Structure 1
């Protein structure tokens, strides 16, 4: 244990993994309090790092799975938490991880993570594909990303990310975390967000691919009107038939409106359209 402890204390955060280790015990307690783990939960922690939050979760939950990319931290984590019978560790990239494999008895997953800033948006989109198998998600993210997730129509932060997250989940921005809570201290402020997947979608899309494509195209160039954003993907006749003022910008339209528009369209309407993926 002494050697493992030395390895842990000497481990330096790696920039390529986006590592910033949480060291503020008060913030750790606040996060665990927000999660409110129970014995019957199946918790999944992404990027446990040096185990600051892991230790609190393992003490309160009988079934904890963790996913860690950094090979150097894996042996230390195994030794530290092997005394917990419900603990399992996967050395893997969360972006490519199949979270469905963790479902064993129909118990929904509760996902937790201090997510690296450089992969937070694509990882959120990856996790949304498992929304039906998830009870809730609590993440530490860059504060600006949390703002985008929770933004409403007309707000400058409102865009593709917020619409897609809000399609699947209720979004609650919980509290902010200053840079001094980490080692090393990041150059940006952080925040904790709770995402609770809807059991019944409030505005279900008939075709999710069409909905995603419409939202993506609409926000590729934010300063353009909806009409101009869609003109290379939809015919003039189809655009004119949409029951909305296409002379406005996409940021003024609600989630419900985007779903309504997508339900009037089909994949054939978008033939030839190849929207680029972006993070707005």
Structure 2
């Protein structure tokens, strides 16, 4: 879009950020462009932005994608502003509703895999990530702005305080790259915590495939239910300490010391015992 056309575009209505939607609108141009460079969108790709808000990230994304973009916005009061702001882009598709309820596999259909991006509200970031992991076969990659603490958990390594259920499940399905931190002053209103950008790329082939992924997820949930207790205590309803030792896993270890592969080994052992 030319600068002249941009200058002639109507101003969108003013909007006050709503706490119930966890809204913090990105304003820093330098941060915005750094995010777009990290995503590196190209014409012909299927870009989906979750929570476009007032369009700060939407504008450089849609220009890089040659005018083709889909956005998902829950706040109905923001929709008119987006339609005004991007009236010159007829190929912009706005999905009005909750991204947690959106069927991303159906959205992909027979088309190219989706590239999902967004400044995710802190209050739904973890459940939304799990929802997207469930649609991973429809997704090429994901780039999200999240609370820094959540990014640290996603990218954590076994043995640290940040390693937990989210780390295990995300890394089972995806390669995780923590990219850079974003300070509170980049937003209006300012959040009380730092944010960070993370990239999730679904594995083409799982490094440690589980025989039964639902069972694996249950094992991970149970293992981390009480982090201060040993594996033998946390998993005592599923297998004995002797069975853990036979797998080469010390039963007195804490769950946060186990790798994805070790947790998969436990789940696969249980799957092999199932009738």
Residue 254 (structure 1) shift: 0.6
Query: What's the counterpart of residue 39 of structure 1?
Result: 43
Take 1:126 and 1:262, find their aligned partners in 2: how far apart are those partners? 22
How far off its partner does 1:85 sit? 3.1
| 1:5 is aligned to 2:11 | yes
Separation in 1 of the partners of 2:209 and 2:113?
21
Deviations 1:142-181 (A, max 9, x none): 0010000000111110011001000111000000000000
Partner of residue 4, structure 2:
none
Aligned residues: 267
Is the 8 Å Cα contact of residues 210 and 267 (structure 1) preserved in structure 2?
no
Equivalent residue number for residue 108 of structure 1: 113
Cα deviation code 1:35-55 (max 9, x no counterpart): 000001110000000000000
| Contact 1:20-1:185 at 8 Å conserved across structures | yes
Q: Cα deviation per residue 1:8-58 (whole Å; 9 max; x = unaligned)?
A: xx3110000000000000000000000000001110000000000000111
Structure 1 unaligned residues grouped into runs of 5+: 270-280
2:185 alignment partner, one of 175, 180, 186: 180
Shift of 1:105: 3.9
Instruction: Say what the alpha-carbon RMSD is for the aligned residues.
Output: 2.1
Q: Which of 248, 255, 258 pairs up with 1:253? A: 258
Residues 168 and 52 from structure 1, CA distance in 2 versus in 1: closer, same or farther, beyond 3 angstroms? same
Within 2, Cα distance between the matches of 1:68 and 1:136?
Answer: 20
Q: 1:57 aligns with which of 58, 61, 65?
A: 61
In the alignment, what sits opposite 1:138? Answer: 143
Distance 1:267 1:44, change over 3 A: farther
Other structure's SS at 1:52 match: coil
- The whole-number CA distance in structure 2 between the counterparts of 1:215 and 1:256 is 12
SS class of match (2:47): strand
Q: Which residue of 2 aligns with 1:171?
A: 176
Which residue of 2 is the match for residue 21 of structure 1? 25
Equivalent residue in structure 1 for 2:234, among 226, 229, 245 = 229
Query: 2 CA distance for matches of 1:80 and 1:239?
Result: 59
Offset at residue 82 of structure 1 (A): 3.3
Instruction: Specify whether residues 47 and 254 from structure 1 end up closer, same or farther in structure 2 by C-alpha distance, changes over 3 A only.
Output: same
1:89 counterpart (84, 87, 94):
94
> With structure 1 as the length reference, what TM-score do the two structures score?
0.90
Residue 5 (structure 1) shift: 2.7
Other-structure match for 1:198:
203
Distance 1:98 1:4, change over 3 A: farther
How far residue 61 of structure 1 moved from its aligned partner, in angstroms, is 0.7
Residue from 186, 209, 216 that aligns with 1:211: 216
Query: Does structure 1 residue 265 correspond to structure 2 residue 245?
Result: no
1:174-229 CA distances to partner (integer Å, 9 max, x unpaired)? 00000000000000000000001111111111100111011110001100000111
- The 3 A distance-change label for structure 1 pair 36 and 66 is same
TM-score (norm 2): 0.92
Distance in structure 1 (CA, Å) of the matches to 2:113 and 2:174: 15
